[in-house]
């Protein structure tokens, strides 16, 4: 682990994804965790895939902001649609894949692609998942 930790998030979870409950140490996030109906569960709460989708997209957008400042560009109307896919493995385990559809205006196509590509090298979620899971990114509808 790095010697210089900038921030540590803490959470407490009980019950897993079946009838779980999660809470951050500062109380800013408190959620019931449930298996979604698509997986035969009751729904009525969030799940790890949804939390990962929100976390990745919000982190990625922040990385885009940092890169935009370095590039001295100002994208407009930035939005990210994220998907986290839960898939079985041959070993009877599970894996995830991610899709990020980035939409932005105010930059030409080349600048937009450069911004998103550089953000993918800066974002902590991108760095944590690189080489471990498939991450498909589009920029204004075109594959990165």
Fold match between domain 1-46 and domain 48-143 = no
The pLDDT value recorded for residue 100 is 98
The pLDDT value recorded for residue 2 is 64
Q: Are 111 and 77 in contact (CB under 8 A)?
A: no
Q: What is the mean pLDDT of residues 126-144?
A: 97
Task: Return d(Cα 127, Cα 2) in angstroms, integer.
Answer: 14
For the chain, domain boundaries: 1-46, 48-143
pLDDT category at 113 given cuts 50, 70, 90 is very high
C-alpha distances (whole Å) from 14 to each of 6, 11, 141 are 27, 10, 39
The pLDDT value recorded for residue 11 is 97
Q: What is the mean pLDDT of residues 55-69?
A: 98
The pLDDT value recorded for residue 1 is 65
Q: Give the DSSP per-residue string, 92-129.
A: S-EEEEEEEEEEEESS-HHHHHHHHHHHHHH-HHHHHH
The pLDDT value recorded for residue 3 is 83
**Predicted confidence (pLDDT) per residue in 69-105, tens digit:** 999 999 999 999 999 999 999 999 999 999 999 999 9
| Burial status of residue 50 (CB atoms within 10 A of its CB: 0-12, 13-18, 19 or more) | middle
Q: Are 138 and 102 in contact (CB under 8 A)?
A: yes
Q: What is the mean pLDDT of residues 24-42?
A: 96
**Domain 48-143 of CATH type 3.40.50.300:** no
Residue 55, pLDDT > 90, answer yes
Mean pLDDT of the chain: 96
Where does 1-46 sit in CATH, by number?
A: 2.20.25.10
């Amino acid at each position: 682990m790095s010697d210089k930790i900038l921030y540590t998030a803490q959470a407490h979870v009980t019950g897993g994804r079946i009838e779980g409950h999660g809470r951050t140490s500062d109380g800013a996030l408190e959620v019931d965790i449930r298996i979604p109906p698509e997986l035969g569960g009751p729904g009525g709460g969030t799940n790890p895939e949804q939390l990962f989708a929100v976390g990745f997209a919000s982190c990625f957008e922040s990385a885009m902001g940092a890169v935009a400042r370095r590039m001295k560009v100002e994208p407009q109307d930035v939005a990210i649609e994220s998907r986290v896919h839960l898939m079985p493995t041959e070993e009877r385990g599970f894996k995830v894949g991610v899709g990020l559809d980035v939409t932005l205006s105010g930059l030409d196509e080349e600048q937009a692609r450069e911004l998103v590509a550089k953000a993918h090298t800066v974002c902590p979620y991108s760095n944590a998942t690189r080489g471990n899971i498939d991450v498909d990114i589009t920029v204004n509808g075109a594959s990165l």
